[in-house]
Amino acid sequence: MVKAVAKPIRTPQVSHKVTDFFAVRKSIRKTKKQVLREQQRTLEELIRNEVEDGLECRFTKGKGRAVFATKNFEKGSFVVEYSGDFISLTEANCREKQYAEDETTGCYMYYFKYNDQTFCIDATQETGKLGRLVNHSRTSSNLYTKTILVDGLPRLVLLAKENIKRGQELLYDYGDRSRESIKYHPWLKD
């Protein structure tokens, strides 16, 4: 006698997705583009509101006025704007000649390039803004400059190059390496 062997009946397998068993959770991670847009908006607001939080001007031996941190700044964070008159190069040349004639007047002109154009911020006039008083250091700078566009105009901001502790002097590299400048201002080598 021949025994019949029952073959199991195959039912089609149904594929299941993880979402069939668990609720879908939307990621809260932001794209790099979103993060950069938010950082830009934050910088714009800080500049528009003229924020100079966590800074103090002190007199120092050998340098005169200097700016010190009164709070900690994290690497990459906004510290202060280098603010002043946004002027044309023609006006900058006229003002430089005028300032050179008066030894009691310093010159706080910052030339910079943005989109292949040269601009100048003249912060020579005393305004109470502290960005103009941040001193130079080629080797020990803890700030760097960044140009950002705010309301159609390029603006200069100083950002933390590293974590800055409360009490540290704020310094950035002015970037001037010309022989003539170093001749008259030897401290630019430091």
pLDDT score recorded for residue 33: 92
Please name the amino acid found at residue 29: R
pLDDT score recorded for residue 150: 93
Is 164 among the domain residues? yes
Q: Could you tell me if 171 and 136 are in contact, meaning their C-beta atoms sit under 8 angstroms apart?
A: yes
Is 90 among the domain residues? yes
Q: What is the DSSP letter of 105?
A: S
Domain count within the chain: 1
pLDDT at 3 over 70: no
pLDDT score recorded for residue 2: 59
Which residue's entry shows tokens 């299941």? 16
Is 84 among the domain residues? yes
Average pLDDT taken over every residue of the chain: 86
pLDDT at 6 over 90: no
Of 19 and 117, the one with more pLDDT: 117
Identify the sign of the CA torsion 82, 111, 105, 98: negative
For 107-154, the pLDDT digits (tens) are 899 999 888 889 999 999 999 999 999 988 888 999 999 999 999 999
Output the pTM of the full model: 0.78
Percent of the residues in the chain that have a pLDDT greater than 70, as a whole number: 81
pLDDT at 187 over 70: no
Residues 13 and 154: their CA atoms lie apart, in Å, by 63
Is 122 among the domain residues? yes
Is 129 among the domain residues? yes
Residue 188 φ then ψ, to 5°: -65, -20
Of 102 and 75, the one with more pLDDT: 75
Q: How much is the average pLDDT of 66-94?
A: 95
Is 155 among the domain residues? yes
Q: What is the DSSP letter of 14?
A: P
Domain harbouring 95, CATH code = 2.170.270.10
pLDDT at 156 over 70: yes
pLDDT score recorded for residue 100: 87
pLDDT at 104 over 70: yes
Range of the domain at 102: 40-189
pLDDT score recorded for residue 167: 97
pLDDT score recorded for residue 51: 93
For 32-66, the pLDDT digits (tens) are 999 889 999 999 999 999 999 999 999 988 888 99
Is 25 among the domain residues? no
Is 21 among the domain residues? no
pLDDT at 185 over 90: no
